[in-house]
Amino acid sequence: MGWLDNIASLLNLKSEALRKLEQERDYLAGELRATNSALGDCAHQCRDQGIELLKLEQRVLNLKGMVDDAVSSPQAYYNWVTKQVGDITRYKTYWGLAREALKVMGIEWDALSIPESELFYTDEVSMNKIIPFLTYPAEYYTVSLQIDCDDYALWAAADASRIFNLNGIMQAKGYLGDVYHAFNLCVVGEGQYRLWEPNAGFPWAGSLFKIGENGYNVKKWR
């Protein structure tokens, strides 16, 4: 019977080996399915990212075309800017009221004659949408031609009136630290005033801030 026992033992060993091989096969099949699934997800992600990249490239091309069109003429620029900003709500107050309110703050009126009686302004949210279009490149500053901070403030006030029909944008004069500086002051609500820096070379240019912030000391307006 010894040889029968040996055969039985061999059969048991073979059965055990087959069982382990089947387990290994099932494990590898599971790994393969997981890998295929991951590859499928990756393919979908890559495809989606490729589509988004193409969309982004198209948006860049469209924007470049819009900018090229916008600078083709003053009217085209006006149309482009007003479209970017969208609708804004204009409010009315009076220059006499603004003059008295600013005087209480210690900010004096610096002009030979008071402006038109009615002052038109918009709210702070709309102003923050407008400000980037009333902020100009730092390289425009040209000492040899005497183009300086006063000119930046003048451009911003003029463009606010010309493009957005807001005459409540004022040129402000005072000090930035210990240095004379000109910038802009605007009405954003009844008795509410904000400043902004129209020269893009300053870190805080392009957004409104409160009187006294960023080291700005306002003395006069016009």
Range of the structural domain that residue 8 is part of: 1-70
Listed range (65-79, 123-137, 150-164) with the worst mean pLDDT = 65-79
Distance CA 201, CA 206 (A): 10
H or E, element range at 108:
strand 108-109
State if pTM tops 0.75: no
By the 10 Å C-beta count (0-12 exposed, 13-18 middle, 19+ buried), 108 is classed as middle
Residue 100 token pair: 């008295």
Q: Is there a domain that residue 80 lies in? A: no
Instruction: Report which of residues 72 and 184 the model is more confident about.
Output: 184
Mean pLDDT of 162-177: 93
pLDDT of the residue at 4? 45
Highest mean pLDDT among 55-69, 109-123, 197-211: 197-211
Looking at every residue in the chain, the average pLDDT score rounds to: 82
Query: What pLDDT is recorded for position 149?
Result: 94
Task: Assess if residue 126 is contained within a domain.
Answer: yes
- Domains held by the chain: number: 2
- To which residue do tokens 């059969």 refer? 11
Does one domain contain both 29 and 65?
A: yes
CATH for 205: 3.30.460.70
Q: Are 133 and 83 in contact (CB under 8 A)?
A: no
168 has pLDDT over 70: yes
| pLDDT at residue 9 is higher than 60 | no
Same domain, 19 and 122: no
One domain for residues 101 and 63: no
In a shared domain, residues 154 and 210: yes
For residue 81, is it within any domain? no
pLDDT tier at 12 (50, 70, 90 boundaries)? low
If we measure between CA atoms, which residue out of 164, 94, 92 comes closest to residue 127?
164
Domain limit, last residue, from 43, 70, 97: 70
CA 47 to CA 35: how far, in whole Å? 18
**Residue 101 and residue 64 share a domain:** no
Contacts of 183 (CB under 8 A, 6+ apart): 149, 152, 153, 172, 174, 176, 195, 196, 197, 198, 216
Taking a C-beta distance cutoff of 8 angstroms, is the pair 138, 199 a contact? yes
Element (H, E) at 170: strand 169-176
- 68-116 pLDDT, tens digit each: 655 567 788 788 888 888 999 999 999 989 999 999 999 998 876 666 6
178 shares a domain with 92: yes
> How does pLDDT run across 15-31, given as a tens digit for each residue?
666 667 677 777 777 87
Domain shared by 6 and 102, yes or no: no
Q: Are 126 and 54 within one domain? A: no
